Amino acid sequence: MDKLTTKKIAGIAILTALYCIASALMKIPFIGAISLDLGYIVLAIGCIMYGPWGAFIGAVGCGIESLLFSPYGFSIGWFVGNLIIGFGCGIVFKKTKNLGLRILAVIGFIALGILVAKTVIECNLYSIPLLVKLPKSAVAFAVDSVVMILGLLLAKRIKKIEKIED
């Protein structure tokens, strides 16, 4: 990863706080306990601007949000899932500006982070049968993918985001 400057640290910190706020205050209920989490829009922008530091934005933002605002407390599954999503998408977003490849990265890394990592962690941690957990994780994967892709499309409309240097 590139060297950290004061400007980059401040930007990452601001986006982490924005992710936390958006995740806590801008959830649109969807099905059951699953909602459209608009924090993923911030995560997409963070991955574009700061590459693999998106892992910090997603994981720490999610961790703080769950500690402060979730009735269920800290979720290691979501933390690890967002770590994977932010790091993977951040690397791909830094390597290419091709929207199609970025969308594939979003789908692939959200699948890895939510369908695989989060599901396995929560099945083992809470003794939930895989066939019970997997359908809910599949819905969360689909919803989070749509929101993060919307974040990519929004970022594409904001020309200054792509011009920020690391």
pLDDT at residue number 163: 63
Residue 3 has pLDDT above 90, yes or no: no
What is the pTM assigned to this prediction?
Answer: 0.92
* Strand partners for 27: 37
pLDDT, tens digit, 9 for 90 and up, residues 23-78: 998 887 777 777 888 999 999 999 999 999 999 999 999 999 999 988 888 999 99
Query: Which comes out higher in pLDDT, residue 19 or 37?
Result: 19
- Determine the Cα–Cα distance for residues 15 and 46; give it in Å rounded to an integer: 6
pLDDT at residue number 22: 95
Residue 140 has pLDDT above 90, yes or no: yes
What's the mean per-residue pLDDT of the chain? 92
Q: Where are the beta strands (DSSP E) in the chain?
A: 27-31, 34-37
- Determine the Cα–Cα distance for residues 161 and 27; give it in Å rounded to an integer: 24
Write the DSSP string, 88-134: HHHHHHHH---HHHHHHHHHHHHIIIIIIIIHHHHHHHHT--HHHHH
What is the mean predicted confidence (pLDDT) over 93-120?
97
Between the alpha carbon of residue 29 and those of residues 72, 92, 116, 120, the distances in Å are 16, 30, 23, 24
Q: How confident is the model at residue 166 (pLDDT cuts 50, 70, 90)?
A: very low
pLDDT at residue number 29: 79
Q: How confident is the model at residue 1 (pLDDT cuts 50, 70, 90)?
A: low
Structural domains in the chain, sorted by start: 6-163 (1.10.1760.20)
What is the mean predicted confidence (pLDDT) over 80-93?
97
Do residues 51 and 78 touch, judged by C-beta distance below 8 A? no
pLDDT at residue number 162: 63
